[in-house]
Amino acid sequence: MENKPVICIGAALVDEIFTGKATIEPGTSNPSTLFRSAGGVARNIASHLSRLGHPLELISHIGNDASGDWLFKQCTDAGIKMNLVVRTEQPTGCFTAINHSNGQLFVGASISYLETELTTTYLESISTSLREARLLVLDCNLSVECIQWILQFAQQNKIPCIIEPVSVPKSQKLKQADLSFTLMISPNESELCAIAETADLKSAIDKVHGRGLKHLWMRSGDKGSTIYSPTGNLHLDAPNTSLQDTTGSGDAALAGWIHGWLIGAKPEDCLRLGHALAGIAISVKGAELEKLDRDLLIEAYKNF
């Protein structure tokens, strides 16, 4: 079981992070610094888990361009297997963040061709590889059709599945999703309400659990996070660490939880590992944690 790969399915992007030298003012030019790194939700999670010693494969789209070549190498350098990645003449996706001087996101924008270039026909063609997965992790950058196909495939083949909603607009792709073999989804409150189509938080939690979901991990920023499960709830305050950049912190948190789950940690320890890895992520610029290993994560975990 331990040798089976985790397969992450979703976005692989080039991140461009502009950080204002002062508080960002809308409607005018803001002097800033620029930092470039590998990004994309599924790719970020894959990179973190690979650096923590787990076998990882990525299914995504990367363009046949200079940015794609650079991103592909960043992924292979992190130990991610890339033989299932689709490469076409459509450009490599990009995420641009504009941060306040304190590292908090002011606004972000992204472009990706994942929805059109990664199809259910392609997923069907690699189904033999997918059946070898220990865990499927997907993000809502995928098309609705691909999300539905993966969830059905996971149920049929009894493979646990985790979903990262990404954003409020993209989380709405899960409105009608069958979550009966889904291990976890990890929305914030706004994303959760969009998925459940209700503004009432308790009703939203009940509705999503009613679809057969095992764990609902709701993120609340600096207020910490809570995991709602049929057997009880777990809450943990946000990590107390210096803030450099929030880009990819949610992806890091999910990767930390998955790492705990993969090594058989207790539920409360999985949550602490998630917060610990998020704390590492927000203390550096960009989403690529090149120095990450298990020793670094254990040191951060001890803070909890």
CATH number at residue 228: 3.40.1190.20
Task: Give residue 150's Cα distance to chain centre.
Answer: 16
Count Cβ atoms below 10 Å from residue 23 Cβ, excluding itself: 11
Residues β-bridged to residue 94: 14, 111
pLDDT at position 181: 82
Is 244 part of any domain?
A: yes
Is 178 part of any domain?
A: yes
pLDDT at position 30: 96
The rounded distance, in Å, linking the Cα atoms of 239 and 214 is 25
Taking the model in full, what pTM does it have? 0.91
Could you tell me the two tokens for 183? 């291990």
Q: Which residues of the chain are modeled with pLDDT < 50?
A: none
Is 61 part of any domain?
A: yes
In which domain, by residue range, is 13 found? 6-301
Residues β-bridged to residue 184: 162, 215
Pairing of strands 61-63, 56-59: unpaired
Is 283 part of any domain?
A: yes
Describe the strand order of the beta sheet including 6-9 as a list of residue ranges.
56-59, 6-9, 135-139, 161-164, 182-185, 215-219, 225-229, 232-236
Could you tell me the two tokens for 296? 């670094």
Is 24 part of any domain?
A: yes
pLDDT at position 244: 57
Could you tell me the two tokens for 193? 């309400």
The rounded distance, in Å, linking the Cα atoms of 160 and 137 is 9
Q: How many structural domains is the chain composed of? A: 1
Is 282 part of any domain?
A: yes
Cβ contact 31:100 at 8 Å: no
Is 91 part of any domain?
A: yes
Is 1 part of any domain?
A: no
pLDDT at position 285: 63
